[in-house]
Each structure stands twice: as structure tokens, then as C-alpha cells.
Amino acid sequence: MDTKKRKALFLDLDGTLLTDDKMIPQGNRDAIDEMLRQGHSVIIATGRPLSSAVLQAERLGLTSRGCYIIAFNGGVLYDTFERRVIYRSTIPLDFVRKAFAEANRRGIHIQTYRDDRVIVEPAGDDGIVRQYCSRMLVEEEVIPDIALLDEEPVKMLIIDPDDTGPLHSFREWIGTWADGVLDTFFSSSEYVEIVSKGLNKGNALLQMADILGIDRSDTVAAGDAANDISMIEAAGLGCVMCNGTDDVKSVADYVTERDNNNCGVAEIIGKFILERQFAGDQD
């Protein structure tokens, strides 16, 4: 295929590619398989840890040539075919220690990551982290003191499943001392991501497109939640699932007619990449 004609599709997982039951509809699978056969690229773009994203890619069969992962909302770029990390961005340990200390003082759950594990202190060894690990298919590791962490992590995450107030307050506090070093954003109503400055799915999209030699105008992104906004804005064509939130829809070039449970991704692929319909994309 002529490089100029190649396209790259950047896909959020939950609420976009996957159904509410965390499955991939057959129509989405068929459309992606056809994309890959024609030489296009498919990139999973997720806030999940890399190990969780890799497991998902393997389960979904997205490990052939042309398949990639953006994990940790842009902290890691990964080639699933060659099984190697292409890029990694980390947070200085001093900032990790200070964030943990403040979260503990406020009674907010905070966690970070090492390799394929979620790292918490004893105060964070609770139902919140166990539920998270079960959902993301990762393991938990409890260390006595975050000061013992000897490798800079890609991100931190604060979680409050019941009240967004403490999360907003903690974001404001970070802005007072880590401006220019860290960014924070909601990836769901109960998760606030803490990452290196400038790290987001949008910048990761641009970086990956450059690595692949694909022009920005030939990139398509699909998502449904606030952490997808930068990716949707950065893409040549930004698509939002009809089940997405209103703030995400407000920046979309296209809103799907079908939701994540009914092959909305196949609709996007058929309409904008392959110019044909798929079984799951038809009435």
C-alpha cells in the first residue's frame, strides 16, 4: 500500500471498542481484521497499565503487524507485534513521594505502578485497589513506604468511587506545587490520573503517527470519555461514540449512530477508512 494512503485508527477500549460486558462485537472484529489486511494500523489507546492493555490486545487478537498500544494515557507506546516498548515517560520519585504523603494525609486512595503491578502503601491496601486490580487484570503489591520505590513510575492514580469533591481538591493542590512538571485529569468520574506534563492521548497520537510515517490527516480516533478529548482533537478525524459524554461530543467531527454495544467502531471503520459496511454496522 502507498504510505500516503495508509491510515491509523486510535481506539479507546472501555465504552468504545468493547461492549459494557468488556467483549468485542463481531462486527468490530471483522472491520478491524479487514483494516489490517489492507495495511492500515490499529492502535489501542487506553489509560490502563501496559500489562492490562497487552492482555486485552492478546484477548482481542490485536497482536499482528500494524497493531500498537498507547498505555497509561500516553505514558508508554508499545508494539504488540514485536513485543517491545517504543517510548516511556516517567514521574520523578520526589513528586511521587510528596503526592502519596498528601493523599494519605487527606485519606484519599492513591496508587502507582511498577512493571505489571499496582503499588500501594498499607493504607491503600483496601477494597478500592482490589476492585481496580480485578477489573484491570493486574496484581497488587503493598510496600511499607513509597520511599522504597526505586524506579520512576509512569503515572499515579487517585480514586474515590463515592465523591468527586476530594478528587477536585487534590487536583487543585497538585497545581499549586507541581505546575510545569505534572498534569492531572479525570479519566472517569472516580479516577484522576497524575502524569508527566504534556502526557495525554492526543500527544501520544501525534507521536505514534510520526513513528509510523502516517500524516495526521490520515489518523482517525474514537472515544467516549474525558481522557479521550485530546486524542479526538489531535486526530485528522475525531469520532465520539453516541454513548459518550456531552463534553466529548462537543469536540467531535463525527458522532456515531451506533453505540459501543452495537458495533459503533465498525461504523467508523466502514464510513471513514474502508468505505464499506459490515454486518454489525447495518440495520
> DSSP per residue over 44-66, as a string?
EE-SS-HHHHHHHHHHHT--STT
- Domain housing 37: 3-88+199-281
Query: Do 251 and 234 form a contact (C-beta atoms < 8 A)?
Result: no
- Is residue 175 located within the same domain as residue 235? no
| Domain end marker among 181, 196, 211 | 196
CATH number at residue 203: 3.40.50.1000
* C-alpha cell read off for 83: 513485543
Q: Based on the domain organization, do 158 and 252 belong to the same domain?
A: no
Which of 173, 196, 219 is the endpoint of a domain? 196
Mean pLDDT of 269-276: 90
- Ranges of beta strands (E only) in the chain are 8-11, 41-45, 67-71, 76-79, 84-88, 109-114, 117-120, 139-142, 155-159, 182-188, 191-196, 219-223, 237-240, 254-255
User: Residue 164 sits in a domain of what CATH number?
Assistant: 3.30.1240.10
83 and 203 together in one domain: yes
Instruction: Give the Cα separation of 109 and 132 in Å (integer).
Output: 12
Do 101 and 190 reside in the same domain of the chain? Answer: yes
Domain co-membership, 120 together with 186: yes
The pLDDT of 8-16, averaged and rounded, is 96
Share of the chain above pLDDT 90, in %: 87
Strands 191-196 and 155-159: antiparallel
pLDDT of residue 276: 74
> Are 30 and 151 within one domain?
no
Q: What is the pLDDT of residues 101-144, one digit of tens each?
A: 999 999 999 999 997 899 999 999 999 999 999 988 899 999 99
Same domain, yes or no, for 215 and 144? no
The pLDDT value recorded for residue 219 is 98
Determine contact, residues 243/234, Cβ cutoff 8 Å.
no
Give yes or no: residues 218 and 173 share one domain: no
Residues 242 and 215 in one domain: yes
Instruction: Examine the fold and report which residue of 196, 228, 251 is the final residue of a domain before the chain moves on.
Output: 196
> What domain count does the chain have?
2
pLDDT at 3: 44
Same-domain check for residues 105 and 163: yes
Say whether pLDDT at 283 is over 50: no
Q: What is the per-residue pLDDT across 140-187, written as a single tens digit (0 to 9) for each?
A: 999 999 999 999 999 999 999 999 999 999 999 999 999 899 999 988
Report how far apart, in Å, the C-alpha atoms of 14 and of each of 19, 41, 46, 199 are: 7, 20, 8, 20
103 shares its domain with 144: yes
